[in-house]
A and B are shown apart, each in its own frame.
Chain A
Amino acid sequence: METVQNGLEEELMSHQSGHPPLKMGIDIPNGKLGMWLFLGTEIMFFTAFIGSYIVLRIGSEGWPTDTNVTHIRIWAGGTNTFVLICSSVAVVFALEGMRSKNFQLARKWLFVTLILSFVFLGIKSYEYYGKFDHNILPGRIPETNSQALAFTARDLRAATGIDPQTEKLKRMETQMAELQKKGGKTELLQKRIDAQKKVVDEITPIANKVVAINDRVKAGTIELGLAAEHGKDAPQGHSAAETSDTKKPATEHPAQEAGKSTMVTEVARLHKENPEVFGSVQVPHPIKYGNLFASCYFIMTGFHAIHVLVGMAMFILLLSYGSKLSSQHEVFVENAGLYWHFVDLVWIFLFPLLYII
């Protein structure tokens, strides 16, 4: 044991005397090693999401894959894949420019990368807009017919605005009672209360129509009556009232023939009677596992988009050096490039998993 230690010491001594000082660690820049370690944690970060998604997807029989339901557009995903591959090439050429001391060229390619990242986010936000527009959001999607009924009932009631207006009236009345106790002037408040009462009285008959529907929902005597149940031809995810109006004349509807109104026909009736109140209410199509799908979609693409934003910040910082960009930034460019390639790498797996399978 002692001899080994002596031997080591001797070796160290000989290094100290004869050779230039020994460089410890791996022969890559510290920053680059740090970036690779960070990317190691990033791989685990994304594989946790992707792995969970794969398992949930396999475990959920009847996962929504119809693009009319999910509003997944393969052309958008494919284009974004292409855009990211292009930007990866651009950032590689930027690094080549840095290595060959052609900083003008490096800046040009960094700029191209930045533009392409904007294109990516543009397409991504278009897709997000589609999801928000069709309410494909976690927690907002009914998964069964009874949930769809309950959601519609809630939306109808909210559209009338009866609850906030009644509450406002109640608040005013308690204010009035307090004022009367104190013996203050009540005329002004009384005027406001009268005006508010008028508002509530105007809403009440409209709200009562909804109460009747809510009662039927509660008693289970109303069907959803969505056209989509009759075949795949009807586009899902759109307003059911819209589809039943355009695609099927109301009289053709089987439920109507049986003399029983459905939620769809009820909502269509309310649309006609009070378009300014109920115009925005739609009967949502139940999407089995829709909420889980939306959660997975948004958590994966959302975190990816955040990574894109961070990469863009790096490129903007590099470009802000302008003509001062020099050899001392080479490691920075290399690290930004490594990070950006990783962002591309994640998308390479998200694209087939979310858009194709």
Chain B
Amino acid sequence: MTDEHNDHPHVAYWRIFGYLCIFTVASVIADVMDLKAMYNITVLSAVVLLISCFKASYVLRYFMHLKFEGGWKYIILLPTVVLALALPFALASDIGIHYYDVEVPQQNTLLEKEIEQIAEQKAEDEHHHGDEPAEHGGGH
């Protein structure tokens, strides 16, 4: 414990802060430049996510002092990376590649049923009152 101050040498925190700000501005510029229109969404994603990884590494190494920690950091943190990578890969083949067709197939059956009921009720009411036959006679 006594040599903890040696373990955590004074980091130039403001400089790290400056880097983080520059990276943030860079990703906003990537958005404003509309890289999606210039190239495609893959380029944009690659650029901004790479910037994020740089930012994350600065936060992890300097703010969270991981740079100065012992080997235990790998035992705790590396297994989590396995999940982070395995999940998208596992889902990619089904969800990522053949998900829905171009037309969204979900139907709001509840609402349609509701509308049907209303129409039926109306037809019933008209029948009850003995009015002229309803124009949508095929209701039942």
Contact = CB atoms under 8 A, between A and B. Distances in A.
Contacts of A341: 59-60, 63-64
Interface stretch (A48-56, A176-184, A256-264): A48-56
Contacts of A349: 49, 52, 56
A351 B20 CA distance: 13
Given A59-B97, A81-B24, A218 B73 contact: no
A309 interface: no
B38 interface: no
A143 B107 CA distance: 9
A352 interface: yes
B76 A37 contact: yes
B108 A150 contact: yes
A288 to B, nearest CB: 6
Nearest to B69: A28
B130 interface: no
A100 to B, nearest CB: 9
Given A82-B21, A85-B24, A352-B27, A51 B100 contact: no
B52 A40 contact: no
B27 A88 contact: no
Contacts of A26: 70, 72
A78 B108 contact: no
B87 A47 contact: yes
B13 A150 contact: no
Contacts of A27: 1, 70
Interface in A195-253: 211, 214-215, 217-219
Nearest to B78: A40
Given A27-B70, A58-B92, A349-B56, A85 B17 contact: yes
Interface residues of A, number: 66
A342 B66 CA distance: 12
Interface string A132-158: 000000000011100100110110010
A214 B16 CA distance: 61
A215 B136 contact: yes
Interface string B5-16: 100101001101
A119 to B, nearest CB: 16
B17 A338 contact: no
Contacts of B51: 352
Given A85-B20, A150-B111, A55 B96 contact: yes
Contact of A47 (B1, B83, B95, B102): B83
Nearest to A99: B5
Contacts of A289: 104
A356 interface: yes
A157 B118 CA distance: 10
Contacts of A142: 108
Contacts of A43: 77, 80, 84
B41 A357 contact: yes
28 contacts: A40-B76, A47-B80, A51-B91, A60-B100, A74-B31, A78-B24, A81-B24, A85-B17, A85-B20, A85-B21, A86-B17, A88-B59, A93-B13, A144-B103, A144-B104, A150-B108, A150-B111, A150-B112, A154-B111, A211-B118, A214-B115, A218-B115, A218-B136, A338-B64, A348-B56, A352-B27, A357-B41, A357-B44
Q: Which 3 A-B pairs have the closest CB atoms?
A: A59-B99, A47-B84, A352-B48
Interface of A: 26-28, 33, 36-37, 40-41, 43-44, 47-48, 50-52, 54-56, 58-62, 74, 78, 81-82, 85-86, 88-89, 92-93, 96, 99, 142-144, 147, 150-151, 153-154, 157, 211, 214-215, 217-219, 288-289, 337-338, 341-342, 344-345, 348-349, 351-353, 355-357
Given A40-B76, A88-B63, 4 more contacts: A144-B104, A218-B115, A341-B64, A349-B56
